[in-house]
Every structure is written in structure tokens, then in C-alpha cells.
Amino acid sequence: MKLGSQKSKEGRFWASLFDFSFKHFVTIRIFVIIYWANIILAGALGVLTIIGGFRDSTGLGILAVIVAPLLFLAYILFLRIILEAIAMLFHIGDHVKAIAEHLEPGTKRIEEYEVSDVEDK
């Protein structure tokens, strides 16, 4: 059953990727890949920094052991905040769409307003 669910998600991903009306977003689904790739790359960069520090001198190596993990955590935290902020914008859009779909019948939708209607109020 899990395999069918996985294929269904994969099918939706590819359908969203080639949705030229942009009704379905692919960005949120790609965030997981972006986040993991950045964790792996930042971790590798941290390890290489520590190795390079010890290659130059013991003092630089010790400094790298202290600084590299702090920079790694700061980078991952900053990346997470940015990705969550972008995801929040998509979720706000989803909620606004849901609100618009549940408006009372007869309520004007935003596209029904004219500039003169807004300026009069």
C-alpha cells in the first residue's frame, strides 16, 4: 500500500512540475530536497574546514573545531527560517483560496470590484 501511495505522490509531483497554469505548486515538495542537500553540503564543508585547519596548524584546527559547528548550526537555522517563511506564504495562499471558496453567495469577489467602488469608501 505504501508503494502505491509513493507512486501517487510521485505522479502528482510530475503533474505539478508540468502544470503550465501554476494551479499546483512544486516548491513545497522540493523544500525537503533543498533542506537535506544543504545539510549534507554544509556538514561536508564543516568537516573540510576542520581538516584544512589541522593541516595548516594545530591552533587553526582547534579553532575550526569550535567555529565550524557553530557556523553549521547558524547556517542551517537561517536556511530553515527562510524555507519556513516561503512555505508560510504558500500556506497563506491556500487559506485565502479556501476562504474565497466559502464566501456567502452574492458576496462580491475581488475581481468583481471596480476601482471606483474602492475609491468611494
What distance in Å separates the CA atoms of residue 65 and residue 52, rounded to the nearest whole number?
A: 11
Q: Does some domain include residue 120?
A: no
The total of other beta-carbon atoms located within 10 Å of residue 39's CB is 15
Q: Which residues of 83-102 are buried (b: 16+ CB within 10 A; e: fewer)?
A: beeeeeeeeeeeeeeeeeee
pLDDT at 45: 98
Higher local confidence (pLDDT), 106 or 50: 50
- Per-residue pLDDT, averaged over 53-77, amounts to 97
Q: Give the count of domains, the chain.
A: 1
Structural domain of residue 73, as residue ranges? 25-104
Burial of 64 (0-12, 13-18, 19+ CB in 10 A): buried
Lowest mean pLDDT of 5-9, 34-38, 61-65, name the range: 5-9
Q: Residues 79, 69: contact at Cβ < 8 Å?
A: no
Residues 6+ apart with CB under 8 A from 31: 83, 86, 87
Q: How confident is the model at residue 56 (pLDDT cuts 50, 70, 90)?
A: very high
pLDDT at 69: 98
Q: Residues 79, 33: contact at Cβ < 8 Å?
A: no
- 56: cell is 595548516
pLDDT at 34: 95
Does 62 score more than 70 pLDDT? yes
- 9: cell is 505522490
pLDDT at 120: 54
Q: Residues 90, 101: contact at Cβ < 8 Å?
A: no
Q: Does some domain include residue 31?
A: yes
What is the identity of the amino acid at 66? I
Q: How confident is the model at residue 1 (pLDDT cuts 50, 70, 90)?
A: very low
Q: Does some domain include residue 91?
A: yes
pLDDT at 38: 98
- Per-residue pLDDT, averaged over 103-110, amounts to 67
Q: Does some domain include residue 50?
A: yes
Q: Does some domain include residue 1?
A: no
The mean predicted confidence, pLDDT, of the chain is 83
Q: Does some domain include residue 36?
A: yes
Q: Does some domain include residue 20?
A: no
Whole-number CA gyration radius for the chain: 24
